[in-house]
Amino acid sequence: MLIKIKKSSDIPSSEITPESVYYSRRDFMRGVGGIAIGSAAGGLISQAALAEGDKTAAELNLASKPAWLAQKISQRKPVPASGPFVTVDAKTPYSDVATYNNFYEFGTDKADPSNRAKHFAVDPWSVEVAGECNKPGKYTLEDILKPHTLEERVYRLRCVEAWSMVIPWVGFSLGDLLKRFEPSANAKFVEFQTLLDPKQFPEQSSRFATIHWPYVEGLRMDEAMHPLAIMAVGLYGDAMPAQNGAPIRLVVPWKYGFKSIKSIVRIKFRSDMPTNTWKDLQPSEYGFYANVNPAVNHPRWSQATERRLPASLFMPQRVETRPFNGYADEVESLYTGMDLRRNY
């Protein structure tokens, strides 16, 4: 049975709600394998991340960027004046977006990705397309981007750990990309895979890692074709930083952040539901759908509110979490008749 959804405009994004301190995924990872997974549900920025805050955008944009990509990003369509592709919420400062990251391939602390991604190489880059489609093959990044006009979209990003950001992405429609490969009638789901490269991703060779690399995620086809879902190649008008998923990543704003897989090298059309990394690791806590739902708590913390970054112990910036992360008017119909507690 669907939960009752208010319109986005009914819930003030600035509303502050008291809440107890949450347990984190760090505790869970210690329990199953001894690795620490960041400062989590409390959302407090680590001292290492704060120390990076004075760096410029150029210093924090750590991915190499070929000239053709920089030029294409410079020709992007501007943010629309209104509508679902933009929000009135204040943008999270670039320095926080670029230094407070979950990208466990680089490390398990929030500051590890920006500290360890300084030599991450994105050129050349290719994406393999496979499965239930008429045009499988290996496509260079330039092949992938060439037909698409990039545009800027300002989306809320809600982490399952109960912190959030507001980010101006540069990207293009995921649905438009998938149509180019002519998925067959058998394609009911689409699976994505992150680069597997222990030389660039130190945690992929760690003896203590409990994640089964490479990282994989998936969407149902109607979710993937929804206009809000994008493939992003930049943020804040520049190329995607390595620590944020360079050179190309998924952004699905109505789902928890772990669904928005980074550094994609493979897209596979499937007739069956793919597994996803966090569900594979702990299925009782991380479901396939991962729609933002304040009425369904994580087993170890509440999802009713979130800490909007930047935040600190003395300025917690607590706001009320909205169903589907505030995008219910656009996406609720995708789940008509579904039990959103069972299909979490």
| Torsion sign over Cα 203, 156, 191, 264 | negative
Nearest to 312 by CA among 16, 20, 45: 45
With 80 as the cut, is the pLDDT of residue 30 above it? Answer: no
Q: What is the largest CA-CA distance in the chain?
A: 55
Buried b (16+ CB within 10 A) or exposed e, 226-243: bebbbbbbbbbebbbbbb
Backbone angles phi, psi at 144, to 5 degrees: -60, -45
Domain 8-335, what fold?
Sulfite Oxidase; Chain A, domain 2 (3.90.420)
Give the separation between CA 182 and CA 132, rounded to whole angstroms: 9
| pLDDT at res. 56 | 67
DSSP character for 77? B
The structure tokens 């293009």 sit at: 172
**Whole-number average pLDDT of the chain:** 87
CB 234 within 8 A of CB 94: no
With 60 as the cut, is the pLDDT of residue 48 above it? Answer: no
Give the separation between CA 44 and CA 178, rounded to whole angstroms: 37
| pLDDT at res. 41 | 38
Range in 45-54, 188-197, 274-283 with the lowest mean pLDDT: 45-54
* Helix residue ranges per DSSP H, the chain: 25-32, 47-51, 57-60, 67-74, 94-99, 112-116, 141-145, 174-180, 221-224, 277-281, 328-331
User: What are the angstrom distances between the C-alpha of 77 and each of 151, 172, 277, 327?
Assistant: 4, 10, 34, 22
Overall average pLDDT of the 289-295 stretch: 98
Buried b (16+ CB within 10 A) or exposed e, 155-176: bbbbbbbbbbbbbbbbbbbbbe
Percentage of the chain modeled with pLDDT above 90: 78
With 60 as the cut, is the pLDDT of residue 229 above it? Answer: yes
| pLDDT at res. 55 | 65
* Residue 206 pLDDT class (50, 70, 90 cuts): very high
Structure confidence by residue, pLDDT tens digits, 93-136: 999 999 999 999 999 999 999 999 999 999 999 999 999 999 99
Chain centre distance of CA 102: 9
Exposed / middle / buried, residue 309 (Cβ in 10 Å: 0-12, 13-18, 19+): buried
| pLDDT at res. 4 | 38
Structure confidence by residue, pLDDT tens digits, 253-262: 999 999 999 9
CB 163 within 8 A of CB 263: no
| Domain chopping of the chain, boundaries | 8-335
| pLDDT at res. 130 | 98
| pLDDT at res. 316 | 85
* Helix residue ranges per DSSP H, 133-258: 141-145, 174-180, 221-224
Overall average pLDDT of the 216-233 stretch: 98
* Residue 144 pLDDT class (50, 70, 90 cuts): very high
| pLDDT at res. 83 | 96
* Residue 13 pLDDT class (50, 70, 90 cuts): very low
